[in-house]
Amino acid sequence: MMKTLWTAVVVSAVSCAWAAKDGKGWVVVNEDNDHYFKCEKTNDHWPVKGGDAQMTVPALEAYADMITASGKVTHVFWCTCGGRPNFDSKSWEPIWYPLTQEGADFTVIDAGSRTWPENALLLHKRGIDPYVVWIARCRKNGAQAWISMRMNDVHHLWRDKYFRNTIFCDSHPEMNVSRDKRAQWERASMDYSFQAVRDHHMKMFKELVDRYDADGIEMDFCRSGTYFPEGKGLEYTELMTAFIREAGAYAHAKRGKKYGVAIRMLPDPKTAREKGFDVATLAKEGAVDVVIPCLQSPVGNGFTIDHAAWKEVLKDAPNVVLVGGTTTTFGGPYHNPSSLAGWSAAMRARGWENLYLFNYAYMNRATREAGYFKDALYTKAGDAVPQTFLFAGDQRESARTIMLPAGTKARKSARVVCEFRRGTAPTAVTLNGVDSTAFRIVNGELGNTGVYELPLEAVRDGVNVLGILPAAVISRAAIEIE
């Protein structure tokens, strides 16, 4: 292996690992493990144009600048491995290993699949470790840089020789939770009741702690969220507790107590407990420093993750930081400041002081450069800024409800935007019994999209009821206010 020139960079840990510098709380961005390496093929926002020019230290630094230069992002969590890692690991084969593997499967997902390992290999050949560069650049811009590891990524694990899955996971279907080689997604998850599975993941975790002088490490237990066969989580809880306890103890011993250990967790405490996660014990013991309950989708009844319920879980661990998260699935037209502002307002109204965006990278250059990481994520209900509140459908309905935070008020305009999965958009809807006043069709991602203007007084804080006649299948809808 070529010696990595940039692994020699050492930056001292920040003086206070847990406090946001401006007292406003955390704003965390989790950068996807594959995004930078293939975004030339999937969208247009690399900061440097022109083929191999993106795989250089200046280009990597420019990308970190795009996320952190506003000064509003307090933490960036850099995901190193969702399956095979993007560096010359000694624990698992690197992501470029399949480039020399006969019969490797680079299909599915998007046009950038093969570009990803090719670019990671190019960086390696040039002696550049991107995470070392990104960690240093984040710190220069005043943001903390953490490493993130997905603890059970199952992207297409059922496909033979799929390029991102490790040899171990690909070759042991008897150790997945369904014992079925062709089981898909959650049912393909590796079963942590097997010592070999735990050892496989622990080896990578320890290598990441040893390799990177980051401010902390995240164990991502949401990607995916199943670790034991159905109904067996409570039975195997102590195995998972011991695993996380060992990981946390190793990280703290290696890097010191200012080095943070985070767990990204299922959004509901009861479900997390049933899945085998005793978060209360781990937090009380000090094995973890940060708990990140994270929605698998931002849409729903007011973006609700129960802050009070999680505070109860952590009542005996007052120093543990609680961060509320969501995923990328705002969707293309909703990767914008008003959607972030609406999400922030809804979350902060429920008590969340610290916010987290998982994989919020997939957007075009214009959206990114519009300043979406500026003040939007500090919005509170009642602030006089444009706010968008998303909710989902995917079933035939004549009414849909969304809970808006107390203090929500439309001052200049109010509208409902609905994407209809099939059929034509109705020419009118109601909101809280108030008829829409104007209607137009726009091109949507998933089908016909109707935009319905409404009187300002139609929008309420609390429960809002959208009426749709005739009943239609909504794929996604939003209340937009200014």
pLDDT at 368: 64
In the DSSP assignment, the letter for residue 117 is H
pLDDT at 273: 97
- CB count within 10 Å of CB 122 equals 16
pLDDT at 309: 97
| 420 in Cβ contact with 474 (< 8 Å) | yes
What residue segments make up the domains of the chain, in order of their start? 17-381, 393-481
How far is 95 from 110, CA to CA, in rounded Å? 16
- Sheet harboring 216-220: ordered strands across? 321-322, 290-293, 260-265, 216-220, 144-150, 75-81, 27-31, 355-358, 324-326
Question: What are the residues whose beta carbons fall under 8 Å from the beta carbon of 102, sequence distance 6 or more?
Answer: none
H/E element holding 443? strand 438-443
| 267 in Cβ contact with 358 (< 8 Å) | no
Give the global pTM: 0.91
- What end-to-end distance do the CA atoms of the chain give, in Å? 56
Neighbouring-strand partners of residue 452: 416, 439
- Write out the chain's pLDDT in tens, 482 residues: 333 344 333 333 333 454 444 567 999 999 999 888 887 655 555 666 666 788 999 999 988 998 898 888 999 999 999 899 999 999 999 999 999 999 899 886 655 588 899 999 999 999 999 999 999 999 999 999 999 999 999 988 888 899 999 999 999 999 999 998 888 888 999 999 999 999 999 999 999 999 999 999 999 999 889 999 999 999 999 999 999 999 999 999 999 989 999 999 999 999 999 999 999 999 999 999 999 999 865 555 446 789 999 999 999 999 999 999 887 556 666 778 888 899 899 999 999 999 998 887 766 666 666 666 778 889 998 999 999 998 766 666 677 888 899 999 999 999 999 888 767 788 999 999 999 999 998 865 545 789 999 999 999 998 899 998 887 777 778 899 99
pLDDT at 412: 96
Q: Is the dihedral of CA 361, 367, 369, 375 positive or negative?
A: negative
How far is 461 from 337, CA to CA, in rounded Å? 20
How far is 137 from 144, CA to CA, in rounded Å? 10
Neighbouring-strand partners of residue 478: 390, 417
CATH topology of domain 17-381: TIM Barrel (3.20.20)
Between the CA of residue 346 and those of 253, 300, 389, 460, what are the distances in Å?
Answer: 38, 11, 8, 13
How far is 18 from 431, CA to CA, in rounded Å? 43
- Phi/psi for 228 (5° steps) reads -140, 160
pLDDT at 181: 84
DSSP assignment string, 14-78: PS-SSS-TTSS--EEEEEPSSHHHHHHHH-S--SS-SGGGGSSHHHHHHHHHHHHTTS---EEEE
Beta strand 462-481 with 448-453: parallel, antiparallel or unpaired?
Answer: unpaired
How far is 456 from 2, CA to CA, in rounded Å? 63
